[in-house]
Structure 1
């Protein structure tokens, strides 16, 4: 995929906003994973520049993933060292590369849209709930920890909000309110909406830094201290900077635990990536489609490189992707730019970055969350009917109260149950409430009747009124499952006689022929049948 220049300016500005959002998330996820802080930055840079270039997606942004924190935390302990863990990351990348070559990415085509919508909305709710503590100056839980049960505190998302309310920092609240006001103004005020030179997110961050510096200069108790600011590690020399990189221990290739961990990372990372890819395509204003196979190959190469120089495993990440789209990103240039900004900032201006209040970044994320979890989405899904709305709501709740993968898994199960139920109902057309004893009844089978329809058809045949005439019409049917044929045959030969039901089979092909010697349709019967049809 070639880089386009049409959206060059908006892509660069979007990349800048994504960089501001990604920076604390990279550090927070590394902290929550029990890994060196710099490892998160390594993954963010590789995910932005390398994977961004190789990816087939225009909008998805790759980086360290919140969904992998528990696996990383447990994995480092299980294999015994961070160097062996890095080997597992390399192995995971190789597995992903193979999955892409084998075209396993096509699985993304089978994620139901109601589950994807539910996942996005659930993530939006989580972002809001998780950022409320940071917005009021309570930063006990790491940025990037999106699980309901928090890794660092042992509390959950809701109790953390309660703790935050009891420990508010008024300086952080002031910064949050002003930054949200700036973001709303850039979205609502016509004059500011027309200004494309600088994004609202960047203005909000600069305003947050300036306000806090004024608080510090005046000696105010409102000043936000170091523990509530971005905390990027600052090396004292070039050798210290190089010392932040690590290499895998290839002696662990004979260690089965390393291989198991690598396979686990590959599977989880691939599923999260494909889910995010589908979500990105769904949010894309230009309605483009991305190749899951290309994405898996790009992610595999990214994880191999990350593992080789000390980075965390990566996936395509919904939070960064949403920030990219909402900030005006339209091509992969914005993703690559965010990676370049991460690299340049870490090398050149870490001291300046460490002046950014987490409250200012919380304001940006809260606005992103509000867009993802907009009431309009609930209204839209409600109008789509219960078969769409119920799996959607279940997915939202499951994502919020468990984690991304478990929530999507629960949503998929519910969605599949509704699909099966709908499939059973669509196998034939029959209105039992319209038929009474003695009437002519027609059951018209669909083009395909599978074993999934057996239970519904059986219930219909069992409850047919006695002393009636039934026409089972398969004239438009291409396929009928053997079990369904046996069910119809048993009904014709045995059950119908007990209830004095006269059965006529219409349109059954030679391969599906059922011996029906029960009747000969009379002229009067033919006329009655025409009236029913």
Structure 2
């Protein structure tokens, strides 16, 4: 069996390459989420670094990538407007981390194992669609929408589709050309024939596209002034003149606010949303993992909790595991923690030492990278594979996609999960018993055999069936194979037994005597 050490050595080169690609994708997302949150611009960068290094080291997942998430942006934005102090909100981030650690120790992470597969596949496919749709404006040179905002409706009254329509009417050809060139490089670079050569295996296509994009942008400045990109078409990273100024980007919590009830409310909101997205991302990441390794969700909550404590103490936004970055990691060849930690280390070094160079990167090149990631998440074969599984799988899948597309990720999780659970409950509702009708010497008899587990969810089905038993009939209720029968089911049988005499119904109970009732009940 392959040991962890062997695995790290085997995948070291591809993990470094994947870490670089994830960094390129995560950088503008971190900045965009900071803007959407109304927090200091550097707050998202801090969370990206902590999510990569601290959470990456402590997590039990080999492929999860953590950082600031758009799902928590609205909570922070509202809190900033309400409290007027980002330092006070950092106290809530620290408290949220403590709450997550507690959830990990009480094993609340096991709730992730109850996420229906159809919903998880729907979330992944919807994230792919959202990625593609949200990147269209950036790819075509319109950057009035913040990176990382995944919700359908925007604060300025626009939405995903109205922004695309506006973009198509105001195309920036400089960005569009860079997008097309970057896409061509990525697609050709990753073809199987190219991957047979060592250079193309190690050097990531995304980095090649970014370098080419920087070159094209420089070419515009010299020869094509009409195509020159504006500042909002480039990465915009805070730049410090020296280390002292760099450390001035960090903020620290105002613990004098710890007794403020609003802080507790904000902390609980962050805990719920961040934990839910982390659990979902972890479960989804395990499905993307080529080796199908299983992550301890309780350990993941503890790791995220520690990450949020660290982030809160130095000025970062709340951290969650993020599906987009995890997907990019897997698609780029990331197979161990090395990739996640590498992306955090590269971010730390680059924002401290070479922010000016990073600010030369056109957002259009990064959009091209995300187009490819999005396509892999929402390609046609994925829809086809779920469709052939039947409507019980396809309906939760497609409803989740539509809900995420027209609302946001958390709403999609709730609606998609509800639809999936409905089908589970409906199946449970129908599978409480088997019955058959026999006729012997002119006597009509219905034999009802109860299932091994008969819960209160089966009350309605059993009650309706018994209510439709005709007069002058013989009924046998056989519970001899049942391991657990809920007391409510016994009440229904008792009521039927009492009413049977008025309908001239002959009732025979098997395995449901008083003695057996007690035995079966207590087994449950």
- The alignment's TM-score, normalised by the length of structure 1, stands at 0.91
Cα distance, 1:191 vs structure 2: 2.7
Q: 1:162 aligns with which of 151, 160, 165?
A: 165
Cα distance, 1:43 vs structure 2: 0.8
In the alignment, which residue of structure 1 is the partner of 2:189? Answer: 186
For residues 316 and 197 of structure 1, the distance between their equivalents in structure 2, rounded to whole angstroms, comes to 26
CA contact (8 A) 1:79 1:258 kept: no
For residues 80 and 515 of structure 2, the distance between their equivalents in structure 1, rounded to whole angstroms, comes to 60
Cα distance, 1:90 vs structure 2: 1.5
CA contact (8 A) 2:118 2:396 kept: yes
Q: 2:268 aligns with which of 255, 263, 269?
A: 263
CA contact (8 A) 1:438 1:465 kept: no
For residues 384 and 366 of structure 2, the distance between their equivalents in structure 1, rounded to whole angstroms, comes to 29
Alpha-carbon distance change, 513 to 297 in structure 1, aligned in 2, over 3 angstroms: closer
In the alignment, which residue of structure 1 is the partner of 2:410? Answer: 405
Q: 1:373 aligns with which of 355, 364, 378?
A: 378
Alpha-carbon distance change, 390 to 193 in structure 1, aligned in 2, over 3 angstroms: farther
Cα distance, 1:102 vs structure 2: 2.4
CA contact (8 A) 1:170 1:222 kept: yes
For residues 513 and 244 of structure 1, the distance between their equivalents in structure 2, rounded to whole angstroms, comes to 68
Q: Out of 458-467 and 473-482, give the one that drifted further.
A: 458-467
In the alignment, which residue of structure 1 is the partner of 2:32? Answer: 28
In the alignment, which residue of structure 1 is the partner of 2:476? Answer: 471
Once the two structures are superposed, residues 306-356 of structure 1 have per-residue CA deviations (whole angstroms, 9 ceiling, x without a partner) of 111111111111111110011010011100000011011112221111111
Alpha-carbon distance change, 438 to 493 in structure 1, aligned in 2, over 3 angstroms: same
Q: Out of 276-285 and 411-420, give the one that drifted further.
A: 411-420
Q: CA RMSD in A?
A: 2.2
Once the two structures are superposed, residues 369-402 of structure 1 have per-residue CA deviations (whole angstroms, 9 ceiling, x without a partner) of 1111122222222222222221222211111111
Alignment partner of 2:320: what SS?
A: strand
Q: 2:113 aligns with which of 109, 116, 120?
A: 109
CA contact (8 A) 2:445 2:473 kept: yes
- Does residue 89 of structure 2 align to residue 94 of structure 1? no
CA contact (8 A) 1:471 1:506 kept: yes
* Structure 1 unaligned blocks of 5 or more: 515-533
Total equivalences in the alignment: 510
For residues 495 and 470 of structure 1, the distance between their equivalents in structure 2, rounded to whole angstroms, comes to 10
In the alignment, which residue of structure 2 is the partner of 1:504? Answer: 508
CA contact (8 A) 1:438 1:466 kept: no
In the alignment, which residue of structure 1 is the partner of 2:302? Answer: 297
Alignment partner of 1:471: what SS?
A: strand
For residues 34 and 106 of structure 1, the distance between their equivalents in structure 2, rounded to whole angstroms, comes to 34
For residues 147 and 513 of structure 1, the distance between their equivalents in structure 2, rounded to whole angstroms, comes to 53
In the alignment, which residue of structure 2 is the partner of 1:279? Answer: 284
Cα distance, 1:501 vs structure 2: 4.4
For residues 118 and 502 of structure 2, the distance between their equivalents in structure 1, rounded to whole angstroms, comes to 46
CA contact (8 A) 1:485 1:512 kept: no
CA contact (8 A) 1:27 1:41 kept: yes
* Structure 2 unaligned blocks of 5 or more: 519-524
CA contact (8 A) 1:43 1:306 kept: yes
For residues 374 and 512 of structure 1, the distance between their equivalents in structure 2, rounded to whole angstroms, comes to 55
The 5-angstrom pairing of residues 167-316 of structure 1 reads 167-192=170-195, 194=197, 195-316=200-321
Alpha-carbon distance change, 260 to 79 in structure 1, aligned in 2, over 3 angstroms: same
- Does residue 387 of structure 2 align to residue 387 of structure 1? no
CA contact (8 A) 1:78 1:257 kept: no
- Does residue 31 of structure 2 align to residue 66 of structure 1? no
Alpha-carbon distance change, 63 to 193 in structure 1, aligned in 2, over 3 angstroms: farther
Alpha-carbon distance change, 258 to 491 in structure 1, aligned in 2, over 3 angstroms: closer
CA contact (8 A) 1:187 1:193 kept: no
In the alignment, which residue of structure 2 is the partner of 1:521? Answer: none
Alpha-carbon distance change, 73 to 462 in structure 1, aligned in 2, over 3 angstroms: same
Q: Out of 39-48 and 232-241, give the one that drifted further.
A: 232-241
In the alignment, which residue of structure 1 is the partner of 2:494? Answer: 489
In the alignment, which residue of structure 2 is the partner of 1:518? Answer: none
CA contact (8 A) 1:473 1:505 kept: yes
Alpha-carbon distance change, 462 to 346 in structure 1, aligned in 2, over 3 angstroms: same
CA contact (8 A) 2:400 2:416 kept: yes
CA contact (8 A) 1:480 1:512 kept: no
CA contact (8 A) 2:133 2:160 kept: yes
In the alignment, which residue of structure 2 is the partner of 1:363? Answer: 368
For residues 322 and 290 of structure 2, the distance between their equivalents in structure 1, rounded to whole angstroms, comes to 18
In the alignment, which residue of structure 1 is the partner of 2:521? Answer: none
Alpha-carbon distance change, 439 to 181 in structure 1, aligned in 2, over 3 angstroms: farther
Alignment partner of 2:129: what SS?
A: helix
- Does residue 469 of structure 2 align to residue 457 of structure 1? no
For residues 493 and 86 of structure 1, the distance between their equivalents in structure 2, rounded to whole angstroms, comes to 64
Once the two structures are superposed, residues 233-257 of structure 1 have per-residue CA deviations (whole angstroms, 9 ceiling, x without a partner) of 1112333212111111121123222
- Does residue 86 of structure 2 align to residue 79 of structure 1? no
